[in-house]
Chain A
Amino acid sequence: MKGMKAGWNNAVLVLALAAVVGLWICPTGVRADIAELKIGIGVDADTLNPQEQTTTLFQNMCDLMYGSFFFQDPQGKLHPGLATRYEVAPDGLTLTLYLRKGVKFSDGTDFNADAVKLTWDRILNPKMRVPLRFGVGMVKQCVKIDDYTVALKLKYAFAPLAPTLSLSLVSPISPAALKKYGQDVRQHPVGAGPYLLKQWVKGDRIVMVRNENYWGKKPTVAKIIWKVVPEAATREAMLRAGQVDICYKPLPSNVAALKADANITVEMPLDTRTIFMGLNCQKGVTANKKVRQAFNYAVDKKAIVKKILFDTAEPMDGPVSPKVFGYFKMDKQYDYNPNRAKQLLKEANFDFSKTVHMRTPQGRYLFDRQVSEAVQAYLQAIGVKVQLRTYDWPTYVAGLLKPIDKTELEVFLLGWGPLILDADMGLYGQFTCEVNPPRGLGSAFYCNPAYDRLMKASRQEQDPQKRLVLLKKASVMVWDDCPWLWLHVEKFVIAYSARIKGLVVTPTEKFYPQYITLQ
């Protein structure tokens, strides 16, 4: 049985949340009542229905408007939110969620078990568009126990379910708003978060104002304006000119210049997103493990990170980001060694007359095409003929999901960013037989029954220490098998006025400005 300590009173919980965002202390000369905060972002939102959203930035906005059951801090620790605690049944198949009492949605509707059940019913309804439904695919149903308690019945035990409840994917929507707006609730978000939507000028800005009925600590920022500025260089210029206070994802090539500016603070925590070259484990030249290992030795990842990505990433040294629970740095590293690569290719009887087909998206990840070109050049340097093709994202993603008999994938660049700070979404979501296309996005077609057994056991295991042992074994196995050419872990770069203090930035590419102070 695992659960949070019961019986916390509301005041303590509120203070605990404030501790997470680190701002209860306001020294003299520091403003804690900020009328307006402007944030420059690259794109406008498509929907503000948290269940429909797939983009981290807009999930971030949803967090602010809807709130979440728990808050996972940058260290991965869970803090109470709309739920005060949870309990997992001994068989791991039921999670009981205790809801916070006395909370209202921003439209005045009561937040209770009925509202939570309604949201879960919508999430689990296959007719509703919920692109990230797989994240809660283990939940069979939501049952109301009493007005402030619900039980999530699971299809199978899933150890990292609690952190999953910190996602806006499961944030409750006001039942009254759902009744009033129907599907158009995506344009009229009503939740129980610290902010509510004031104005949405399409393509231009999203304006949020403080929810005066918020159950928690009153936010220090009265109004947040999310200004759509597609060009990163312009966002930076606006930050320098004082037109925006926060610049979301500035250009990596300008990070050094921004850091040198005394008026600007740059944060770049390591992200959960790993960037890799998938290597088809069942078809083509990369079906041979030695070839896959040779490709890993052939590429100088440190040089790519330094020369192409301007140090806004770190080379992978394990199959998942160091930021997630279950990460281990591997003893064996694939450091740049072209001679070793050539030797492995020789041992594999590699046919150098064959052309390897590599594909890459363009504009999806940081310098994705340039990184692919670099990998192409490194492989060519050891005598491998490589043809590189570039695709726009819709075309690219359609090619990723074909089954093994139809797939044309040989070597392909992709990114994978777990939504929560747990290794499961990386290790299970990419490398088990179950996620081979078309059922999942494990497009490297890695399928190893021994590995699957470890990962399934890790989901059942409720003891974190025992789970770590299983995740380590699985990591070592997949790292050696090289279904990926392990490239790098991205950093989440955010630049803001140096006057701002207390901005909480997480490894899941989110940031929480509601309790900042201004110097």
Chain B
Amino acid sequence: MLNYLVKRLISTIPVLIGISLLLFFMLRMLPGDPAQVLAGQMATPQEIENIRHQLGLDRPIYEQYAIYLGHLARFDLGRSARTQNPVSQEIWARLPNTLLLAVVAMGLACLLGIPAGIISALRPYSWIDYAVTMTALFGISMPVFWLGLMLVVLFSIILKWLPAGGTGGWQYVILPSVTLASFVVAFIARMTRSTMLETLSQDYTTTARSKGLTEKVIVVKHAFRNALIPIITVVGLQFGMLLGGAVLTETVFAWPGIGRLIVDSILARDYPMIQGTILVFGLLYILVNLAVDFIYAFVDPRIRYD
């Protein structure tokens, strides 16, 4: 197991280099000059050139990449072109917020989505199944932006129960995490329902029933446990998406996460910041996938990593 972990961790290095390479060259293909953006609209060509030199953008592109890789090897993500702060400092200031939101949203989504999916599968084509399906459809179809604003209107302006935005105590997490979870919960519920329906129709379930086991034991120990693998896969993938795809939720709820940082950096052509944030996301995504692989082994004894 340990060997496997080490191997997987080592294998992240070429993946990260690949991400950095692609990102580095793709960014430089974008129209728009970061030196121009920083220098301002009325800057003289000399002033723009000075800034280009300070940012190292006047060097050949392969040299720029080599320097960047050298810094990366020392875990140095460089300095933001826009704020001149170390990129790592800017990311670390926001990463806990992004992680907190993603974890709470995913927790909520699992807490609601899995039981809903199971209940739906146990009573297929009943009113409860239709209700879960309709709710899931609603969750998937509803624009996050709209839902967020509606929740703000209801809970912040009309009822005055919860803050409309910002960070602080636990009450600040509720609305953004509910909004973010709405999409994922629908996915998880749908996935749980379909895999549960499949496992409930398997021979081993019929065997368990014929052995006289209670329905509770059949559902929890036999059907659900076997249905867990695809659910975990979906949870893992969705968690990765929550980390990077929470821009709209962060915007609506003034949540100072990384999503907004990426958008602002792209608009300012802040190359070091874009590279740094995407790289960190890439790493997180890899780590989440790794964690998912290990959870498989715990859930399914047939899976072993040697």
Residues of A participating in the B interface, judged by any CB pair closer than 8 Å: 40, 43-44, 46-47, 54, 126-127, 129-134, 183-184, 186-187, 201-205, 227-231, 233-234, 237-238, 240-241, 243, 392-395, 397-398, 400-401, 429, 438-441
With a cutoff of 8 Å between Cβ atoms, the chain A residues found around residue B264 in the complex are: 43-44
Q: Which of A131, A231, A438 has the most CB of B within 10 A?
A: A231
With a cutoff of 8 Å between Cβ atoms, the chain A residues found around residue B37 in the complex are: 393-394, 397
**With A394-B34, A400-B41 as contacts: A204 and B167 at CB distance below 8 Å:** yes
Q: Which single member of A54, A127, A203, A441 contacts B261 (CB below 8 Å)?
A: A203
A-B contact pairs, 25 of them (CB 8 A): A46-B82, A47-B83, A129-B54, A131-B39, A131-B41, A132-B42, A133-B43, A133-B47, A186-B84, A202-B90, A202-B94, A203-B256, A230-B251, A231-B165, A234-B164, A238-B165, A238-B166, A238-B254, A241-B163, A243-B166, A398-B33, A398-B36, A400-B41, A401-B41, A440-B42
B301 touches A (CB below 8 Å):
no
- B264 nearest CB across to chain A (Å): 7
B47–A126 contact, CB under 8 A? Answer: yes
B253 touches A (CB below 8 Å):
yes
With a cutoff of 8 Å between Cβ atoms, the chain A residues found around residue B90 in the complex are: 202
Q: Which single member of A203, A243, A439, A440 contacts B164 (CB below 8 Å)?
A: A243
- A54 nearest CB across to chain B (Å): 5
B47–A394 contact, CB under 8 A? Answer: no
Q: What is the CA–CA distance of A457 and B166 in the complex, to the nearest angstrom?
A: 53
Q: What is the CA–CA distance of A398 and B43 in the complex, to the nearest angstrom?
A: 12
With a cutoff of 8 Å between Cβ atoms, the chain A residues found around residue B32 in the complex are: 392-395, 397-398
Q: Which of A201, A227, A229 has the most CB of B within 10 A?
A: A229
Q: A129-B47, A203-B257, A234-B149 are in contact. List 15 more A-B contacts (CB 8 A).
A: A46-B83, A46-B268, A47-B84, A126-B50, A183-B84, A186-B83, A203-B94, A230-B251, A237-B156, A237-B165, A241-B164, A394-B34, A394-B36, A400-B41, A439-B44
Interface residues in B212-264 by Cβ distance below 8 A to A read 250-254, 256-257, 260-261, 264
- B176 nearest CB across to chain A (Å): 11
B295 touches A (CB below 8 Å):
no
A126–B46 contact, CB under 8 A? Answer: yes
A392–B267 contact, CB under 8 A? Answer: yes
- B237 nearest CB across to chain A (Å): 27
B12 touches A (CB below 8 Å):
no
B40–A54 contact, CB under 8 A? Answer: yes
- A207 nearest CB across to chain B (Å): 13
With a cutoff of 8 Å between Cβ atoms, the chain B residues found around residue A47 in the complex are: 83-84
Q: What is the CA–CA distance of A441 and B37 in the complex, to the nearest angstrom?
A: 14
B304 touches A (CB below 8 Å):
no
